């Protein structure tokens, strides 16, 4: 259930960087507010600034201008200080540890944050829900990209974080597994978390409570205008 409370709000976020001689405006005075219990789809063409916005939100990149404010339980915190239980990521690169099995990868956040018990039952349930429980003892390289991606999603959801930032989390999924993954996201947001999902796939928009469109570094509410 979406509330008026604010998990994070960004105001006038701008980010410019230089690519050789060219000046690239990745973010142009972007403002957004994310509320608990909502699943927000971030859509836009490649190079529109989606990944830069996710980087700024997770603290791996600083905006040149503007302010980012965390609210609710995260009030007063800096993005880079947030733990996996507060802010989890699903990057395009997946970032699974090659030396750990799929099961160990999913339960790793629990082990590293001192909650190993969550690595057991919760991890198995999550893996079962996304159809990779039978791959628990396999190494990532012994699984398909789609299976690895679902492992990555399970890892992000393990500690039921307050906010999930996902970059194309269904890029390697078919329609069935896309639905399974978004169902998992929806289950999370029902508990008061917020998911910001960068996606190209218009079929996934239907799972979103809101759609934010990016184009040339500018953000606006709603789906992008159809291209003819």
Nearer to another protein, 37 or 87 (CB): 87
- Residue 226 has a CB neighbour count (10 Å cut-off) of 6
42, 196 Cβ separation under 8 angstroms:
yes
- Residue 34 to residue 148: CA distance in whole angstroms: 28
With contacts defined by CB under 8 A, name the span among 4-12, 104-112, 121-129, 204-212 that binds another protein: 104-112
Contact residue for another protein among 8, 94, 157, 211 (CB under 8 A): 94
Contact residue for another protein among 12, 95, 202, 222 (CB under 8 A): 95
Nearer to another protein, 139 or 205 (CB): 139
Contact residue for another protein among 99, 174, 225, 228 (CB under 8 A): 99
User: Where would I find the beta strands (DSSP E) of 152-193?
Assistant: 163-167
Nearer to another protein, 84 or 205 (CB): 84
Should residue 24 be labelled a site residue for another protein when binding is judged by CB under 8 A? no
Q: Is 222 exposed, middle or buried (0-12, 13-18, 19+ CB in 10 A)?
A: exposed
φ, ψ at 86 (rounded to 5°): -105, -40
Should residue 109 be labelled a site residue for another protein when binding is judged by CB under 8 A? yes
């Amino acid at each position: 259930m979406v509330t008026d409370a604010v998990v994070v709000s960004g105001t006038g976020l701008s980010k410019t960087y230089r690519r050789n001689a060219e000046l690239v405006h990745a973010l142009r005075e972007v403002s957004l507010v994310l509320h608990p219990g909502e699943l927000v789809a971030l859509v836009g063409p490649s190079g529109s600034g989606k990944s830069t916005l996710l980087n700024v939100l997770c603290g791996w990149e600083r905006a040149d201008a503007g302010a980012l404010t965390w609210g609710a339980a995260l009030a007063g915190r800096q993005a880079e200080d947030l733990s996996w239980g507060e802010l989890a990521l699903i990057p395009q690169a997946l970032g699974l540890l090659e030396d750990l099995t799929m099961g160990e990868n999913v339960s790793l956040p629990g082990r590293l944050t001192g909650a190993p018990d969550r690595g057991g039952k919760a991890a198995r349930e999550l893996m079962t829900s996304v159809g990779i429980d039978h791959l628990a003892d396999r190494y990532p390289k012994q699984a398909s990209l789609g299976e690895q991606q679902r492992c990555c999603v399970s890892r992000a959801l393990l500690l039921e974080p307050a906010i999930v930032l996902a970059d194309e989390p269904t890029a390697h999924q078919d329609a069935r597994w896309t639905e399974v993954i978004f169902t998992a996201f929806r289950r999370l947001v029902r508990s008061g978390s917020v998911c910001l999902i960068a996606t190209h796939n218009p079929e996934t928009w239907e799972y979103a409570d809101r759609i934010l469109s990016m184009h040339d570094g500018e953000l606006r509410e709603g789906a992008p205008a159809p291209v003819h």
